[in-house]
Amino acid sequence: MTTGRIVTAVTLYGPLPTKISDAATWIPPGKSGGFKGRYLWTDAFGVINFLTLHQSTRDTTYLILAKRLVQAVHDIQGRTRDGNSRLPGASDENPLSGGLRIGKMDDSGPDEDGQYHHYLTLWMFALNRVSIASGEPLYNKQAIQLAKAIQPCFFVDRDTDHPRMVWKISVDMSRPLVESQGNLDPIDGYVTMKILQASAREGDPRLDEEISDYKKVIDRKGKHFVSDDMLDLGMSAWSSHWLADKEKWAADLQTRSLKQLGRLLAGRRHRLAFRDFGACLGIGCCDAADSSLKTHAEQLIKGWELDFVQTPEELRPITQVMYAAALIPGAFKKGWLGTEPDL
């Protein structure tokens, strides 16, 4: 049973409590593969997978586990590496105003800890999904708080007609660490801000300025580059499916991403498992994907199931959570948790 395989995959966080009373005090073990056991991308997938299990099984325990994982990430990634203080700009009233650390093992050097834009927008999406699943507006409000805090720090020439973005910034958000722009960053930002704003309650801060900034970058770039990277293509398909029925550029990007995935899936499997699982996740979210493409994705997942033993130890956490999402995209998919607010 597919749900059973997802439960097995999320034992990354296990053994999981089975009683609601135990879930309420659960402390997620540090097994996500990052510094102090937390890695933002992996844990974002973990939260969303728990929501998928909650919706699939109607077991409230999984919703509580998702919330507990959110709290653990905020308590660790939202603080300095020594844990002694919140990140600069954050406070008890606004705990996400300093952003969230990636969770890299190194505190200096070429692979030092910092903040990735695409990790942060994925975390905002995870918070929004918790809000939708639980009916609690606090989580979407936290996502908006995070968006407003980090967005200006990733922009260069923001107040001009030709802004651009940087890919990675320092932990304290004071400077860029990687000057280049991520291929999907403006699209992820635009789509995520639209979702957050559509889900906002009366009195919540608005994101009109942020949405406008991302749209400027999208328009400046013109036709979005479709790569031959499986993860990039999968996340392109996933992001674009949220607006494919609303905006022409999104429909076009979804079509081109799925077409490219079809070409690549017809070839030999020789990639990293988690990147392939990202491709399968994107395909699974798109109703526009044809049956042949979905069959290829299912075969790819089954092929990797036989080869998990070959996954390097340091990649197993991210591989497990992305495998679970590839099996059942669930809460990643528009409308899967119920009626969505109008984007």
Summarize pLDDT for 233-279 with one digit per residue, the tens. Answer: 999 999 999 999 999 999 999 999 999 999 998 876 667 899 999 99
Please give the full DSSP string across 220-254, using - where no structure is assigned. HH-SPPP-S-HHHHHHHHHHHHTTTTT-HHHHHHH
Domain ranges of the chain: 227-337
Mean pLDDT of 221-230: 83
Q: Tokens 């409308």 identify what position?
A: 335
Mean pLDDT of 82-89: 96
Please list the residues that pair with 116 across neighbouring strands. Answer: 168
Q: Is the pLDDT of residue 1 over 60?
A: no
- Taking only the tens place, the pLDDT of each residue in 270-307 is 678 999 999 999 999 999 999 999 999 999 999 998 88
- At 268 the pLDDT is 64
The H or E element that residue 167 is part of is none
- At 7 the pLDDT is 81
Cα–Cα distance measured from residue 114 to residue 106, given in angstroms and rounded to the nearest whole number: 10
- At 269 the pLDDT is 61
Mean pLDDT of 58-73: 98
Cα–Cα distance measured from residue 75 to residue 145, given in angstroms and rounded to the nearest whole number: 16
Q: Which residue has the higher pLDDT, 255 or 18?
A: 255
Distances in whole angstroms, Cα of residue 329 to Cα of each of 46, 65, 112, 225, 259: 12, 18, 31, 24, 20
- Taking only the tens place, the pLDDT of each residue in 114-160 is 999 999 999 999 999 999 999 999 999 999 999 999 999 999 999 88
Output the average pLDDT for the chain. Answer: 94
Structure tokens that stand for 234 in this block: 């999968």
